[in-house]
């Protein structure tokens, strides 16, 4: 860990004078899910990852989170590290944070990469599922909840062929603080809908979705992309919900090309 700001664990790679990129992880993971991207981009970009409260090195505190407080945390990182015109990259819950962040202050950002995420707020059915998750954590513990949730984020092929990597990710998620997990579930259930903002986005946007993603499927993301005039949509082969982990080669090259085309030096 390179810095702690306001109890947030932040990790920095790549020289500070390079174009900053911030990567926001999904639920219930931590900054390590981006290691394939950070390794690839750190030579030419200042790569910043961090742990959302309750995950990795960031304590959950009282666990009373909202999507707004997550965006406040992101802005705190941008401001205290003096990052200008950031390329923002978020996956799933990290994408909810990214979308709301650009809706609040697009001028802080130069481009946005949205992986396996969506703009719609939770339907009643999804909210009820989150509340069932909170009950499961209370009644049966983190192990049961995380052990049921995490396999749904990956293709069976990835799990079988990359056991070691999968178990490392799973084991980190199993260490999540129950207060953090429950706080995130409530924050996601209470988040606002950012769909109306999509046509107003002016910065370049890359929309990425695993072809086998069942949580935020390609047709949902394609429809989201169609509402953003600056967007390019790409489906990632051989990947489910954690497409940057499952097919990092494809995702890295796609991001590299997007940045080269859209952010001329
Ligand atoms: C995530 O990967 O961050 C979660 O699947 C998001 C969600 O449950 O809506």
pLDDT class of 1 with cuts at 50, 70, 90: low
Q: Tell me, in angstroms, the distance from the centre of ligand 1 to residue 68's CA.
A: 16
| The token pair that represents 136 in the structure block | 């499961």
Report which secondary-structure segment, H or E, holds 28: none
Q: Tell me, in angstroms, the distance from the centre of ligand 1 to residue 92's CA.
A: 5
Whether the predicted pLDDT of 3 surpasses 70: no
The string of pLDDT tens digits covering residues 131-154 is 999 999 999 999 999 999 999 999
Q: What is the pLDDT at residue 264?
A: 76
Q: Rounded distance, CA 252 to CA 208, Å?
A: 11
| The token pair that represents 185 in the structure block | 């579930």
Q: Ligand 1: which residues within 6 Å by Cβ?
A: 26-27, 92-93, 188, 215, 241
Whether the predicted pLDDT of 259 surpasses 70: yes
| Residue 108 DSSP one-character state | G
Q: What is the pLDDT at residue 257?
A: 98
Give the sheet arrangement for strand 8-13, strand by strand.
3-5, 8-13, 45-50, 19-24, 86-91, 109-115, 205-210, 231-236
Q: What is the pLDDT at residue 245?
A: 98
Q: Where do the DSSP E strands lie in 6-94?
A: 8-13, 19-24, 45-50, 86-91
Rg (CA), the chain: 17
State the pTM of this model: 0.97
Report which of 115, 122, 87 is spatially closest to residue 101, judged by C-alpha positions.
Answer: 87
Q: What is the pLDDT at residue 107?
A: 98
| The token pair that represents 225 in the structure block | 């992309």
Give the CA distances from residue 87 to residues 5, 24, 72, 107, in Å, rounded to whole numbers and listed in that order: 20, 11, 17, 11
Q: Bridge partners of 23?
A: 49, 89
Number of domains in the chain: 1
CATH number at residue 20: 3.40.50.1820
The string of pLDDT tens digits covering residues 160-181 is 999 999 999 999 999 999 999 9
Which of 188, 190, 214, 240 has most ligand 1 atoms within 8 Å of its beta carbon, as the pocket-test mutant?
Answer: 188
Enclosing domain of residue 209: 2-262
Q: What is the pLDDT at residue 4?
A: 72
């Amino acid at each position: 860990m390179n810095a702690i700001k306001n109890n947030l664990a932040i990790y920095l790679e790549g020289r500070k004078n390079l174009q900053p990129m911030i990567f926001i992880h999904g639920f219930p993971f931590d900054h390590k899910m981006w290691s394939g991207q950070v390794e690839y981009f750190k030579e030419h970009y200042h790569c910043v990852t961090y742990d959302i409260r309750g995950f990795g090195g960031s304590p959950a505190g009282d666990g009373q989170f909202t999507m707004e407080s997550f965006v406040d945390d992101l802005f705190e990182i941008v401001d205290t590290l003096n990052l200008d015109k950031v390329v923002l990259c978020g996956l799933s819950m990290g994408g909810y944070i990214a979308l709301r962040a650009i809706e609040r202050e697009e001028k802080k950002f130069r481009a946005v990469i949205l992986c396996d995420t969506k703009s719609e707020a939770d339907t009643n059915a999804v909210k009820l599922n989150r509340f069932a998750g909170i009950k499961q954590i209370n009644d049966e513990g983190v192990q049961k909840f995380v052990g049921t949730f995490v396999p749904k984020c990956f293709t069976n092929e990835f799990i079988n062929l990359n056991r070691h990597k999968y178990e490392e990710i799973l084991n980190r998620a199993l260490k999540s603080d129950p207060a953090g997990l429950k706080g995130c579930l409530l924050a996601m259930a209470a988040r606002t809908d950012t769909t109306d903002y999509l046509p107003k986005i002016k910065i370049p946007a890359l929309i990425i979705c695993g072809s086998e993603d069942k949580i935020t499927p390609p047709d949902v993301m394609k429809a989201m992309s169609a509402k953003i005039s600056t967007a390019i949509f790409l489906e990632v082969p051989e990947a489910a919900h954690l497409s940057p982990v499952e097919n990092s080669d494809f995702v890295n090259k796609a991001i590299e090309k997007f940045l080269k085309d859209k952010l001329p030096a």
